[in-house]
A and B are shown apart, each in its own frame.
Chain A
Amino acid sequence: MSAAAGSAYATGGMGQSNAETLHKLSALATLGILIGIFAFGNAAFLSVNNGLTVLLQTSVIGLLGIGMTMVIITGGIDLSVGAVLALSGTATGLMVKAGVPVPLAMAGGVGVGALCGLINGLVVTKLRITPFVATLGMMMIARGTALQLTGAAPVSRLGEAFGRLGNGALFRIVEQQPNGLSKVAFPGIPYPAILLLVVALMAAFLLKRRPLGRHIYATGSNEEAARLSGVNVNRTKIAAYVMSGALAGLAGNVLMSRLVTAQPNEGVMYELDAIAAAVIGGASLMGGVGTISGTMIGAFIIGVLRNGLNMAGVSAFIQQIIIGFVVIAAVFVDQLRSRR
């Protein structure tokens, strides 16, 4: 293969520019610097346990961010993911309460999320409502439904099996101590982190190697051109919203499982974290631009910031302010580069 063939093959038809690579590198560097600062301030930050905590905390935003990235690349936005997360989680909780086996109930919960996504997609494409308005409506509908179904009360006592997805871990090592008590020698890799990794790899593969992924980029890049090229633009958009909804459902299950309680009030404003993660990672709200790896870095920047600031005793309000600055700075730096 010639050099040119090699490079184009590597970019996967995306004509990935140096600017994009640069953005990712600078985001990665930011992440590294953050970790360095927090580790310097507090040695416990770098401990295995804390690393796993960050992983766990980031998994929910990461899952939402992956779906959000796909929608943003098509040129849309999904404001409903936080509410869909709550609806899906409570749906699963209610099903478990009603005696449905946990795996089936969780699949059902993800299905509820996908259904919300399908409705979003249909409203955007068939009713021609702008994504902002369509998903804003869904945000209210899903949240209202979750609250109505539960009478706004948490659904608790869901059993040990329900908590496994959120609290379990792979390779957990438990040692028997001489005094008869058991001690966790290695907490293991949390299931949510594994789930995030698997979903991220699948999503990246879909975007870069599957025709649907190509169509997602094309639709966001130039919708009319995509249509004239024979791309089924509506179906492409619907697919993106369905994936976003399903991933919100999955994130909802992870979160509620971790709490071992279905909380209809969970996930408020999570959509903003998901958007922030995608944008920090280089996605453009104009469409046509964005990567899963970038969004993952963005999600971890937010996760590490939250965790590190928490450990440093910085209040949640100040954290909010700092993350707000980071979002604006990330986009500003990106614009500086592309303006050149």
Chain B
Amino acid sequence: MSPLVEMIDIEKHFGGIKAVDRVSLDLREGEVVGVLGHNGAGKSCLMRILSGAMAPSAGTIRVGGAEANIDSPHAARGLGIETIYQTLALADHLDAPANLFLGRELRTRWGNLDERRMLEEARKVLARLNPNFRNLGDPVSRLSGGQRQVIAIARAIYFDVKILIMDEPTAALGPAETAMVSELIRQLKQEGIGIFLVSHDMHDVFELCDRVVVMNRGRKVGSHSVSEVSKDDVLSLIIKGELPGGWVPREAERVQ
């Protein structure tokens, strides 16, 4: 079966700098792939290219085996690609339901905004992440960082998602909410959804991911099953861009 997504030889230049340098990456159904790398390694750029938020300088993207032209966030969403942006991408003056449904508002028969249904649905999906979520009528500028992040996550999972991109989704969350997100990732994985998880949290990555991809200065320097590498190996990839000298896959080690 073909992978959910294949990104092939993706490049992104900003003037002289190569933010993404010939990176190829794929993702299968029910697979959680951790994307790691130092600050400025190019993780967000790579993910934004898949989200349609940024145009690549070169490269192709296939979704479900067919070449896809992802030229806008709208197009990406049409393909079932949902994104939780590192910047959250919320409209500060709007409330939680309005943000959740922004660009995909529920409408009445006359095409007007169906506020009541949007509120009900928002309450349901937000409760899945944070049972204590209140302030549904407040502009989101007045919510805490964690609450805002919960809205961004809710927006990505509410709609028919096949491929979920999470760019540091738990950066502002407390321990309870982080646990909730971990649980959510496991659930989504069960449902066959493919997930890219960008994170700096090694513990989370090893807990949740099947595979880790490491980026260093725009290049992909490694792609390993979590069972074959240790945290120290990954750390070495992140910092030095290469595995420690004398490295052998952990499982191979066991076989020997």
- B118 contacts which of A13, A220, A232 (Cβ < 8 Å)? A13
- Known contacts A15-B139, A209-B112, A210-B111; A230 and B93 CB within 8 A of each other: no
* Contact A13–B97 (Cβ < 8 Å): yes
* Contact B112–A8 (Cβ < 8 Å): no
* Contact B89–A225 (Cβ < 8 Å): yes
* Contact B53–A228 (Cβ < 8 Å): yes
Report the bound CA distance from A9 to B119 in whole Å: 8
Report the bound CA distance from A209 to B134 in whole Å: 23
Q: How far, in Å, is A285 (CB) from chain B's closest CB? A: 14
Task: Please give, as numbers and ranges, the residues of chain A lying within 8 Å of B53 by CB-CB distance.
Answer: 227-228
* Contact B94–A15 (Cβ < 8 Å): yes
Interface of A is mostly: helix
Question: Is the C-beta of B128 less than 8 angstroms from some C-beta in chain A?
Answer: no
Q: How many residues of B contact A (CB 8 A)?
A: 41
Report the bound CA distance from A30 to B91 in whole Å: 31
- Known contacts A1-B116, A7-B137, A15-B138; A288 and B102 CB within 8 A of each other: no
Report the bound CA distance from A217 to B73 in whole Å: 19
- Known contacts A8-B95, A221-B92, A222-B92; A230 and B74 CB within 8 A of each other: yes
* Contact B95–A11 (Cβ < 8 Å): yes
* Contact B119–A222 (Cβ < 8 Å): no
Question: Is the C-beta of B10 less than 8 angstroms from some C-beta in chain A?
Answer: no
Report the bound CA distance from A1 to B140 in whole Å: 22
* Contact B113–A15 (Cβ < 8 Å): no
Question: Is the C-beta of B105 less than 8 angstroms from some C-beta in chain A?
Answer: yes
Q: How far, in Å, is A227 (CB) from chain B's closest CB? A: 7
* Contact B113–A210 (Cβ < 8 Å): yes
Name the interface residues of A67-116: CB closer than 8 Å to any CB of B.
none
Q: Give B contacts to A, CB under 8 Å.
A: 51, 53, 72-74, 77, 83, 85, 87-95, 97-99, 102-105, 107, 111-113, 115-116, 118-120, 134, 136-140, 142, 155
Q: Give A contacts to B, CB under 8 Å.
A: 1, 4-5, 7-9, 11-15, 17, 208-211, 213-215, 217-218, 220-222, 224-232, 288-289
The 5 closest A-B pairs by CB, nearest first: A230-B103, A15-B95, A13-B98, A15-B139, A8-B137
What are 27 residue pairs bridging A and B, where the CB atoms are less than 8 Å apart in the complex?
Answer: A1-B116, A4-B119, A4-B134, A4-B137, A8-B137, A9-B119, A13-B95, A13-B98, A14-B94, A15-B140, A210-B113, A211-B105, A214-B102, A214-B105, A217-B91, A218-B91, A221-B92, A221-B93, A224-B87, A224-B89, A225-B102, A226-B103, A228-B89, A229-B73, A229-B89, A230-B73, A230-B74
